[in-house]
Amino acid sequence: MTKTIVITGASDGIGAAAARQLADSGHRLLLVGRSAEKTGAVADDTGGEALTADFARLDDVRALAGRIDDLLGDDGLDVLANNAGGIFGDRTPTVDGHEKTIQVNHLAPFLLTNLLLPRLLRSRGAVINTSSVGHRLFGDLDVDDLDNERRFSANKAYGDAKLANVLFAKSLHTRFHADGLSAVAFHPGTVRTNFAADSSSLMRLVYRSFLGRLILTGVEEGGSILRWFIEGTPDETWFSGAYYDERTLSNRVNPQVDDPALAEALWQKSAELVGIPAS
């Protein structure tokens, strides 16, 4: 079965690798990246359609959703892979007034998913959130301080955002699985990419070191894991509402993942911050 697939963070890293691996599959690929040049190159390699958006600007996300609507016409959307993200440096607010890590990794994909939700429901589609083991190692989410004004570090901001990815997948499952939507979050392995290049975190040193080159997963393997979720059949290949460590269903999660009140509070707060109805 051919699918219509949106992959964010597709200009580089595992998003680009997954797109290239899907190139001969017959699927329609809508590839989203911040760099028009790099995203266009991946689209040229794969036969996909290049779309540009900077997730540090929520107006870009709204425009992106509108562009996808225009391209799809009356068609539904089978897969939304929320793969864009990163770990950043100092606590510098975006033009929208939010800490960059939580906006790029969570608020922007939360907004995009909700704007595309009617199409996903029409196709009984799937939302795939690229999370990280960092959600368990560093996350300590306070819904009343998503911007980490009180306790900022690059690692905590990243852990909180990746924890939000897991909680968002669970909330999508709770709210919409009965209507046919599936959602999952996964850790792709600690992949050898440049995602920490702008970070002040110690992770940047690991990623650039000789040791890092030895222990980190290759981009192609990380891309193949993302592809496995994209092409899989929900509740057969993988279970909706769950968290996976690579391709393995995992219960090694941050304890906050199992707090439904926190998941609901995060949904309500996220909706408020991006300006959409919370229901």
The 10s digit of each residue's pLDDT in 149-161 is 998 999 999 999 9
- Does pLDDT of 132 surpass 90? yes
> b/e per residue, 266-279, with b = 16+ CB within 10 A?
bbebbbebbeeeee
Q: What is the DSSP string of 121-164?
A: HHTT-EEEEE--THHHHH----GGGTT-SSS--HHHHHHHHHHH
For residue 27, give the DSSP letter. Answer: -
Q: What is the pLDDT of residues 42-57, one digit of tens each?
A: 999 999 999 999 999 9
Q: pLDDT-based confidence at 208, cuts 50/70/90?
A: very low
Residues 6+ apart with CB under 8 A from 278: 267, 268, 271, 272
What pLDDT does residue 79 have? 98
As beta bridge partners, residue 185 has 129, 243
Structure tokens at 45: 């390699």
Number of Cβ within a 10 Å radius of residue 96? 17
Whether the model clears a pTM of 0.75, i.e. scores above it, the answer is yes
3-class secondary-structure state, position 34: coil
- How buried is 211 (Cβ within 10 angstroms: 0-12 exposed, 13-18 middle, 19+ buried)? exposed
Q: Identify the sign of the CA torsion 204, 219, 64, 36.
A: positive
Q: What is the pLDDT of residues 243-271, one digit of tens each?
A: 999 999 999 999 999 999 999 999 999 99
Structure tokens at 132: 């990280």
- How buried is 78 (Cβ within 10 angstroms: 0-12 exposed, 13-18 middle, 19+ buried)? buried
Structure tokens at 264: 């609901």
Q: What is the pLDDT of residues 228-248, one digit of tens each?
A: 999 999 999 999 999 999 999
Task: Determine whether 158 is an active site residue.
Answer: yes
User: How far apart (Å, rounded) are the C-alpha atoms in residues 197 and 47?
Assistant: 29
Dihedrals phi, psi of 111, to nearest 5 degrees: -65, -50
8 Å CB contact between 125 and 75: no
Assign 3-state DSSP to the chain and report helix, strand, coil percentages, each to 5. 50, 15, 35
